[in-house]
Amino acid sequence: MITRRLALGLPLGALFSRLAPAAAHVAPMKNVIQGSLAKHFTDNGTAGTFVAYKVEDYAVIASDAERSGEAILPASTFKIPNSVIALDTGVVADPDKDVFRWDGVTRFIPEWNKDQTLRSAIAVSAVWVYQEIARRIGEERMQKYVDAFEYGNRNIGGGIDRFWLSGDLRIDPVQQIDFLDRLRRGVLPASERAQALTRDILPVTKVGDAVIRSKTGLIGVDNKQPGEEVRSSVGWIVGWVEKGADVTVFALNMDIRDGHHTAARMTIVQQCLAEIGAL
Active site residues: 76
Residue 47 burial class via C-beta count within 10 angstroms: exposed 0-12, middle 13-18, buried 19 and up: middle
Coil, helix or strand at residue 143 = helix
- Say how many C-beta atoms besides its own lie within 10 A of residue 21's C-beta: 15
Residue 228 burial class via C-beta count within 10 angstroms: exposed 0-12, middle 13-18, buried 19 and up: exposed
Coil, helix or strand at residue 26 = coil
Q: Choose among 23, 13, 7, 34: nearest CA to 247.
A: 23
For the chain, give the number of residues.
Answer: 279
Beta strands in the chain (DSSP E): 3-4, 30-33, 48-54, 59-62, 70-71, 204-207, 210-219, 233-243, 246-256
DSSP 230: P
CA distance 243 to 11: 29
245 to each of 22, 158, 239, 248, 272, how far by Cα in Å?
A: 10, 42, 16, 10, 19
